[in-house]
Amino acid sequence: MHPDRPPDPTIDPLLTVVEGPVLAVVDGPLAPDVAEEVRALAAHAEAVDGVPPLGEQTLLRLADREAPAHHVLLRDPSSGAGPGALVGYAQVDRDAEAEIDAEAEIVVGPDRRRQGLGSRLLAATHAAAPGRRLHVWAHGDLPAARALAARAGMAPAHELWRMRVDLHARPVLAAPLPPGVAVRAAIPGRDDDAWVALNAAAFADHPDQGRWTVHDLRARQAAPWFEPAGLLLAERTAVVPPEPVGFVWTKVHPIGALAAEPVGELYVLGVHPSAQGTGLGRALTELGLRHLADRALTAAVLWTSASNHRAVHTYTAAGFVRDGVDVQYADEDGVQPAMAPEPGHRTPPRGATMGT
């Protein structure tokens, strides 16, 4: 702790100090300047690795007072000002609804890799979630992340595919809405509760998405990229009030985020179980892609679970092809494993970045 600074009340007084970088666990939101340090570290890693180490949810939770997140900060007191330069970061999601599982993401600074820091951060994430089976996302599934997981006794548990489509060359499908269903733009505030309930039903088998709350929704509505016209709600109109049965939410990534030009995204698409098999998912996919094409975009991406075969089939039919994969690694027995020693106390080149 820098002697000229008052103690940070958000930092656990128990710090793990060993030779070299210092590990601190923070419960609750990070201070704005610390959150900005994490974003800068993640941006540096993305520039080197070609994939972002931390997912949107993780970045949103850096300063979120309501998020069930634990932050692990790894600083080098011999470099930088104050407590030292941030050289590694991990976030552990200990959502009470998960009961026996916890999720984490990890990033190590590109210039501080091959020094065992990834192993220290992974051990710290296990310690922050005692008694829970830990799941860690590896964006891009880089070789270093696979090696880190293997040393920790973690095995692949889930794949998330990134799929991409050329909006000019894709096949334009005839995809009418099912009879009795109409689509309109969702109204922030008025439709929030109904959207959250619909999202939970549509993603009952995919809790990462299905557990979103009104708070999670509004955090995204407050993001710079959000536009109400990009969130379309499908309703059965034969009942009063109309019954929400599906939605498609689009997003536009700015220049430089995914490519040299803006790129559209089918951000989330969900269909209520009662409307699955009616062609609504296909119709919503077409509506979302047409909305993005009308924005003069040339390409669109999406992320979907590899195990969601119905969704993969729908997106493939719309012209999407897989062009990336994130892998979630999990403890095999639900117990914190003993880390295997690293040869020469080094991690493989390109670091160990895990996340979604």
* Furthest-apart CA atoms within the chain: distance in Å: 69
Q: What is the pLDDT of residue 333?
A: 64
pLDDT digits over 125-160, tens only?
A: 999 888 888 999 999 989 989 999 999 999 999 999
- Residue ranges of domains in the chain, CATH in brackets: 16-153+332-345 (3.40.630.30), 163-325 (3.40.630.30)
Q: What gap in Å lies between CA 6 and CA 27, rounded to an integer? A: 18
The dihedral region occupied by 120, where left means phi > 0, alpha psi between -120 and 50, and beta the remainder, is: alpha
User: Which range has the top average pLDDT, 11-15, 320-324, 341-345?
Assistant: 320-324
Q: 154-166 and 321-331: which strand pairing?
A: antiparallel
Q: What is the pLDDT of residue 2?
A: 32
**How confident is the model over 221-228, as a mean pLDDT?**
94
Percent of the chain with pLDDT over 90: 70
The whole-model pTM stands at 0.81
Q: What is the pLDDT of residue 153?
A: 92
Angle at 57 between CA 112 and CA 271, to 5 degrees: 140
Alpha helices in the chain (DSSP H): 32-49, 56-60, 117-128, 143-151, 192-202, 207-210, 214-221, 280-293, 309-317
The residue among 85, 325, 302 whose CA lies nearest residue 209 is 302
Q: Does residue 58 carry a pLDDT above 90?
A: yes
**How confident is the model over 87-91, as a mean pLDDT?**
97
Amino acid residing at 173 = L
Q: Does residue 290 carry a pLDDT above 70?
A: yes
Q: What is the pLDDT of residue 13?
A: 34
Exposed e or buried b per residue across 316-332, where buried means at least 16 C-beta atoms within 10 angstroms of its C-beta: eebbbeeebebbbbbbe
Q: What gap in Å lies between CA 121 and CA 101, rounded to an integer? A: 18
Residue with tokens 């509760």: 193
pLDDT class for 71, splitting at 50, 70, 90?
very high
Angle at 117 between CA 111 and CA 120, to 5 degrees: 165
Q: What is the pLDDT of residue 262?
A: 96
pLDDT digits over 3-32, tens only?
A: 333 334 343 433 444 457 899 999 889 999
